[in-house]
Amino acid sequence: MLPDIRLLILPLPDFALLPFGAFLDKLRFSADDEDYSRQRYCSWTLAGLTAEPVVSSSGAVMQVEAIADQLALDDYDYLVLFGSRNAEATASLAAHYQSLLKRAAKAGVKLVAIDNAAFLLAACGLLDGHKVVVHWRHEAEFRASFPRVQLLREQLYCIDGPRITCAGGTAALDLAVELLSKACGRARALKGLADMLVDESRNSRHALRSLEASAGQGRQVQRALALMRHHLSAHLSIEELAAELGISRRQLDRQFQASHSMSAKAWWLEMRLQQARWRLLNSSHSLAQIADEVGLGDASYLGKCIRRRFACTALELRRDVHCGVPNNPVQ
């Protein structure tokens, strides 16, 4: 009996264990009756470009079963890539993976990019004309790097024909359920969720409550936070943001003061500075590039903001020199 769904799984260097483990374990539960872990209803192969083990972002090492270039790609329905938290490094792998990925696409294999693997597909030109989802932290970076690719905001995953993208984290579990549902039926796709202590799978448009800083904040503040993330790289004023919400700036500030003890403008600046700090620590982008990505004008202005907020220069922050970093109110 042939499996209903066959997947070739490629973890990229520095891949994150959480989405990888969640996705793979969901396959395992649905692959067989009871909990026997046999690859009957779905099958998968863990592969790499070489036979060398692949090191995850946590340092855990995974041994691959096969070399991808030696496999018959038309034996698979999906090729699933797991990216790292460093989007720039993932995109730089294009020269190594492009040939394999283009051959897979030509063979009719659907390409799945989880976490920052979307940056690799985009760098290979394989997301042109497709809708894409990335982690909310990397939306501005993706728009800056690939402005012609249509990026959907704040979704867990997107299935757009032969191209499938996923924001990563536990959303990989939800994507696995959706792919299994299409191939094996909903009942088998949901099998094992109780064993994984998961209540239910989420649809692609599920809104993360954890993105909101306080459960007690009003709906307008929640909408404002979503717009701030979406417009992170835009030179948008607080007045324009308030206008999108249909309220005045004074009303918006009053609500932010009540829920966060600071103005909307101060909160948005903090959000941008925290994102800039993350970029400095996790990319080699120039200060000018980062300033553009987080909507803070030019390198000079961003540098001044960083010194004022973190009590050190951008270079010291990038070198991970100990800085007097106050508590981060933007979680």
Residue 331 in any domain: the answer is no
Residue 215: the pLDDT is 42
Of 291, 319, 282, nearest to 86 (Cα)? Answer: 282
Final residue belonging to a domain, choices 157, 190, 223: 190
Residue 170: the pLDDT is 95
Final residue belonging to a domain, choices 123, 155, 190: 190
Question: What letter would DSSP give residue 76?
Answer: -
Compute mean pLDDT per 10 residues along the chain, 331 residues long, and list them. Answer: 94 96 96 90 97 96 96 97 92 96 98 97 97 89 91 92 96 97 95 91 79 58 85 87 89 91 94 92 90 91 94 89 63 56
**149, 279: one domain:** no
Dihedral over Cα of 325, 231, 299, 289: its sign: positive
**175, 122: one domain:** yes
**173, 25: one domain:** yes
Residue 307: the pLDDT is 93
Which are the contacts of 51, defined by CB distance < 8 A and separation ≥ 6?
A: 64, 67
**169, 219: one domain:** no
| Class of residue 242 by CB neighbours under 10 A (exposed 0-12, middle 13-18, buried 19+) | buried
Question: What letter would DSSP give residue 12?
Answer: P
The total number of residues written for the chain in this structure: 331
- Stated as kind and residue range, the H or E segment containing 110 is strand 110-114
How many domains would you assign to the chain? 2
Residue 259 in any domain: the answer is yes
Structure-block tokens of residue 243: 């206008």
Residue 321: the pLDDT is 58
Residue 98 in any domain: the answer is yes
**176, 290: one domain:** no
- Residue 111, Cβ neighbours under 10 Å: how many? 23
Final residue belonging to a domain, choices 190, 220, 252: 190
CATH of the domain at 244: 1.10.10.60
Residue 214: the pLDDT is 45
CATH of the domain at 78: 3.40.50.880
| Class of residue 46 by CB neighbours under 10 A (exposed 0-12, middle 13-18, buried 19+) | middle
Q: Where are the alpha helices (DSSP H) in the chain?
A: 17-30, 87-91, 94-106, 117-123, 139-145, 171-184, 186-190, 219-230, 238-245, 249-260, 264-282, 287-293, 299-310, 314-318
Residue 198 in any domain: the answer is no
**77, 17: one domain:** yes
Measured CA to CA, the distance from residue 198 to residue 188 in angstroms comes to 15
**240, 111: one domain:** no
Residue 23 in any domain: the answer is yes
**162, 20: one domain:** yes
**144, 223: one domain:** no
Which are the contacts of 231, defined by CB distance < 8 A and separation ≥ 6?
A: 241, 295
Residue 271 in any domain: the answer is yes
Residue 44: the pLDDT is 98
Beta bridge partners of 79: 8, 111
Residue 205 in any domain: the answer is no
**18, 57: one domain:** yes
**245, 305: one domain:** yes
Residue 9 in any domain: the answer is yes
Greatest distance between any 2 Cα atoms in the chain: 66
**230, 173: one domain:** no
Which residue range(s) make up the domain with 64? 5-190
Residue 177: the pLDDT is 97
Structure-block tokens of residue 1: 């009996």
- Residue 292, Cβ neighbours under 10 Å: how many? 19
